[in-house]
Amino acid sequence: MKRMLASGLVGLALGPALASAEVEFREETIEVEVGGPTTTVLGAIQGDQVVDYRLQARASQSLSVNFEPSNASAYFNVLRPDSDTALFIGSTSGNRFEGELPTNGIYTIRVYLMRNAARRDETANYSLEVAIAAGQTNDAPGPAAAPASSAFDQTLELQGIRFHVTCANEGSLNTLRIVPAGLEIDNTPIERTIDGTVTGAEAADLDVDGSPEIYVYATSGGSGSYGSLVAYSANRRKSLSEIYLPPVTENAAAKGYMGHDEFAVVENTLVRRFPVYSDTDTNASPTGGMRQIQYDLVPGEAGWSLRVERVVEY
């Protein structure tokens, strides 16, 4: 059993489920036969316990996970191989996942309790039904399969306000489109040209004012994979105003920064995490550890701003 500080890798994988300064992890390996019968796993968690179920799969195979918990505050995420970046976040998308896998490797199904339930030391019994269907390969007879679409299309809803986020994710420049619904005055769609592709989106209420925000994460192409954020706040549930994120280069956290950012909402803060490079490091081999910037949402002169609240290195 291993334990990790929540200010580190845990936050990006658990997001709003983060329960305390320390999260207790348990890892189990499960064998799932490709094209075979569904594998059923029974388990239980309590408080800040988290269980990682690890399984081997290949690109183009289809993974399906059905989660049935006894506690409505229990959820699961699906994590990419060798990364705490989530392909699927159960707390915003429900208790069933089905999708084509993007790469070869060991995927993780992470089971956890939401923050409030974990703080109350609640328990959850659950069952996981996991299946993998074979994908098409170049060795199969007939024409080769067309590449899977990388387009981003997700609908998020919080506090009665809905955000439909789409992006073609084709080429180095893309058009991001956010269509709100449920605002009292102005539900006009927003379109923005972004450098790179959309990798994720979250709805949150960082300032706990009853009016949600939408946070869209993008990554540029090239070796740097620089992260960027497009975000809007629902002003008193009436219309959207843009949220400004200061560049990393404007604060002391810039030293050693060379991209490879990841974003996530953790409790009532936005977290930006990236590797730190020493002067002689190559782009592929950072040696300076990790740096995490936590931002609070505050009113600005002409809208909203994300203000650096804390910088953590580990």
Measured CA distances, 47 to 2, 7, 27, 85, 134 (Å): 16, 18, 17, 23, 37
71 has pLDDT over 80 = yes
Question: Within 13 Å of residue 103, how many CA atoms lie on the same side as its CB?
Answer: 9
Q: What is the pTM of this model?
A: 0.58
User: What are the structure tokens assigned to 213, written together?
Assistant: 């925000």
Residues comprising the chain, all counted: 314
Measured CA distances, 257 to 11, 126, 240 (Å): 20, 41, 31
7 has pLDDT over 80 = no
Confidence of residue 302 (pLDDT cuts 50, 70, 90): confident
Distance in angstroms (rounded) separating the CA atoms of residues 123 and 45: 6
Distance in angstroms (rounded) separating the CA atoms of residues 167 and 193: 10
| 2-133 CATH, one of 2.60.120.380, 3.40.50.300, 3.50.50.60, 3.40.1410.10 | 2.60.120.380
Mean pLDDT of the 63-79 span: 92
Lowest mean pLDDT among 112-126, 134-148, 200-214: 134-148
Mean pLDDT of the 186-205 span: 93
Amino acid at 164: H
CATH topology of domain 152-313: Lipocalin (2.40.128)
Mean pLDDT of the 151-180 span: 93
Q: Which one is predicted more confidently, 4 or 227?
A: 227
The owner of tokens 């949150």 is 204
10 has pLDDT over 70 = no
The per-residue pLDDT for 15 is 45
Which of 134, 187, 140, 142 lies closest to 160, judged by CA? 187
Burial track 146-158 (b if 16+ CB lie within 10 A, e otherwise)? eeeeeebebebeb
Per-residue pLDDT tens digits for 242-288:
999 999 888 778 899 998 888 998 878 999 999 999 988 887 788 88
The per-residue pLDDT for 82 is 74
Tell me the average pLDDT of the chain.
84
Q: Which one is predicted more confidently, 44 or 15?
A: 44
Distance in angstroms (rounded) separating the CA atoms of residues 297 and 309: 10
Per-residue pLDDT tens digits for 103-136:
899 999 999 988 778 888 999 999 999 999 987 5
The per-residue pLDDT for 189 is 96
The per-residue pLDDT for 68 is 94
In CATH terms, are 2-133 and 152-313 the same topology? no
Which of 206, 151, 158 lies closest to 177, judged by CA? 151
3-state secondary structure at position 147: coil
The per-residue pLDDT for 81 is 87
3-state secondary structure at position 81: coil
Q: Where are the domains of the chain?
A: 2-133, 152-313
12 has pLDDT over 50 = no
Amino acid at 207: D
CB 133 within 8 A of CB 64: yes
User: What are the structure tokens assigned to 254, written together?
Assistant: 């810039």
